[in-house]
């Protein structure tokens, strides 16, 4: 295979998350992560891609490689739960400022931590995302230097969002910063640290949301069709926030339509329109981060009645000493309200879909390999140990189901071409 074919294999076999890192690694003159013929943001080769660069992409791309927390960050008294990974403290919490709590996706913990990091001068800026200026259903990288900037990025973006697109120029600033993103984005950045020592020098904190997967563009298109709005008419689009989860809000020059979060995602997990890579994700729980923040709905989804008045509370996992200290300092300095300590069992009640996936992925990877496909390489994520806890027939079901999915093309994407 040529280097170009090797890069495209990641996309064609359904493993690209659209993080943007390969554009930064290869350079924009060789690879551009852009909206493609499938509606997803994917890498398109635009120049001569050599073998060394594609090898570096394979070593850093979170689509094909996912590692748990670096061993140097797992300090002596860190607890390790087989499902929930390394943790030092787990709490239910929310942003103390009621407007941050309200605007945030869940309880505003990530935005409150971002603001606290800036105000306490622990970092010069936060790299996270906000709604794209060209396509309001997508997200784009966003550097925040103030509370107002942070709040511009508040809320979950479920559409394609590449936070690592410009990571080299962010590092070129030479300033200490925090990175807030999805678990796979943080995995990509941690892997990139092996190739650029500035990552470990400058990235002072990593915070991720617990992530069940982003919405395929077809999910958003289907939703817009149901509410009678054309994608081309949109002037702004908010997936959630301003309540927990808050309304999904689509605006055009003529009208504003609000719907429930469940009208976007569907009433149960079987209806979630996720990209294939998210269905085989070995780490949607942010094992690589100082802090991971989640929803706390029992069973993983809101219900239509309670969500009218739910003020929002995050499940928060501090995995490193830096994360644990940040959590307690943000509480002491009045940015976070911690209701109570919780345990991995509570997290499994809030996130049963994460627990199920963590148990299933190892067998799914055996299916991918048997079908002749790439399977993500993982380290320190305990997925083989978890599969070993299951009866053989359950692993067989996951393995053969994956082979079947590959055969019928559910994991396949076409060779990416820039959308016209």
Ligand X SMILES: Cc1cc2nc3c(=O)[nH]c(=O)nc-3n(C[C@H](O)[C@H](O)[C@H](O)COP(=O)(O)OP(=O)(O)OC[C@H]3O[C@@H](n4cnc5c(N)ncnc54)[C@H](O)[C@@H]3O)c2cc1C
- Measured from the CB atom, the residue of 111 and 395 that comes closer to ligand X is 111
3-state secondary structure 11-36: HHCCCCCCCCHHHHHHCCCCEEEEEE
Looking at the DSSP bridge assignments, the partners of residue 215 are none
**Alpha-carbon distance 156 to 231, whole Å?**
19
Strand bridging mode 314-318 / 234-238: unpaired
Closest contact distance (angstroms) between CB of 404 and ligand SF4 is 21
- Could you give the CA distance from residue 240 to residue 264 in angstroms, rounded to a whole number? 10
Give the number of C-alpha atoms closer than 13 A to the C-alpha of residue 224, restricted to the C-beta side: 25
- Is residue 181 a contact residue for ligand X (CB under 6 A)? yes
Task: Return phi, psi of residue 86, to 5°.
Answer: -65, 135
330 forms part of the interface with ligand SF4 (CB under 6 A): no
Query: Residue from 12, 14, 17, 139 that binds ligand SF4 (CB under 6 A)?
Result: 17
The token pair at 204 is: 């002072």
Among 43, 141, 312, 315, contact with ligand SF4 (rule: CB under 6 A): 43
- Binding-site partner at residue 161 among ligand X, ligand SF4, none, CB < 5 to 8 Å by type: ligand X
**Residue 229 or 347: which CB sits closer to ligand SF4?**
347
Ranges within 173-202 binding ligand SF4 (CB under 6 A): 182-184
Instruction: Evaluate whether 15 touches 376 at the Cβ level (below 8 Å).
Output: yes
Q: Which residues ranging from 100 to 119 are in contact with ligand X (CB under 6 A)?
A: 104-111, 114
Considering only residues 211 to 250 of the shown chain, the ones binding ligand SF4 according to CB under 6 A are: 211-214
Tell whether residue 155 is a contact of ligand X (CB under 6 A). yes
Task: Supply the DSSP symbol for 129.
Answer: E
326 binds ligand X (CB under 6 A): no
Count of Cβ atoms closer than 10 Å to residue 212 Cβ? 21
| Residue 50 to residue 36: CA distance in whole angstroms | 22
List contacts with ligand X (CB under 6 A).
Answer: 104-111, 114, 128-129, 139, 153-158, 161, 163, 180-182, 185, 209-214, 241, 293-295, 314, 351
List contacts with ligand SF4 (CB under 6 A).
Answer: 10, 16-22, 33, 43, 57, 61-63, 182-184, 211-214, 277-278, 281, 284
């Amino acid at each position: 295979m040529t280097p170009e074919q090797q890069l495209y294999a990641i996309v064609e076999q359904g493993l690209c998350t659209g993080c943007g890192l390969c554009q930064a690694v290869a350079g924009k003159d060789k690879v551009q992560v852009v909206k493609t013929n499938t509606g997803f943001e994917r890498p398109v080769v635009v120049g001569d891609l050599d073998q060394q660069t594609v090898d570096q992409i394979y070593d850093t791309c979170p689509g094909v490689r996912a590692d748990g927390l670096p061993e140097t960050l797992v300090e002596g008294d860190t607890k390790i739960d087989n499902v929930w990974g390394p943790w030092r403290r787990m709490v239910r919490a929310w942003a103390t400022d009621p407007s941050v709590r309200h605007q945030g996706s869940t309880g505003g913990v990530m935005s409150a931590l971002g603001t606290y990091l800036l105000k306490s001068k622990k970092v010069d800026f936060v790299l996270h995302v906000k709604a794209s200026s060209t396509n309001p259903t997508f997200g784009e990288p966003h550097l925040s230097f103030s509370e107002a900037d942070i709040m511009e990025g508040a809320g979950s973006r479920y559409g394609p969002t590449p936070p690592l697109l410009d990571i080299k120029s962010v590092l070129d600033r030479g300033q200490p910063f925090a990175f807030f993103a999805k678990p796979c984005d943080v995995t990509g950045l941690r892997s990139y640290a092996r190739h650029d020592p500035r990552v470990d020098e400058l990235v002072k904190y990593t915070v991720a949301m617990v992530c069940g997967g982003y919405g395929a563009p077809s999910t958003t298109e289907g939703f817009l069709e149901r509410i009678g709005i054309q994608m081309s008419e949109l002037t702004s689009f908010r997936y959630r926030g301003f309540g927990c989860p808050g309304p999904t809000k689509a605006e055009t020059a003529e009208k504003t339509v609000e719907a429930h979060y469940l009208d976007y995602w569907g009433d149960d997990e079987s209806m979630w329109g996720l990209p294939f890579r998210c269905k085989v994700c070995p780490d949607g729980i942010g094992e690589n981060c100082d802090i991971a923040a989640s929803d706390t709905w029992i069973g993983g989804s809101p219900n239509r009645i309670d969500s009218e008045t739910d003020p929002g509370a995050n499940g928060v996992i501090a995995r490193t000493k830096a994360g644990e200290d940040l959590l307690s300092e943000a509480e002491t300095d009045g940015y976070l309200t911690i209701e109570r300590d919780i345990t991995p069992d509570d997290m499994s009640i809030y996130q049963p879909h994460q627990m199920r996936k963590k148990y299933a992925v190892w067998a799914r990877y055996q299916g991918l390999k048997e079908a002749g496909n790439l399977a993500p390489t993982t380290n320190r994520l305990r997925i083989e140990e978890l599969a070993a806890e299951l009866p053989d027939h359950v692993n067989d079901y996951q393995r053969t189901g994956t082979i079947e999915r590959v055969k019928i093309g559910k994991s396949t994407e076409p060779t990416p071409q820039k959308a016209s």
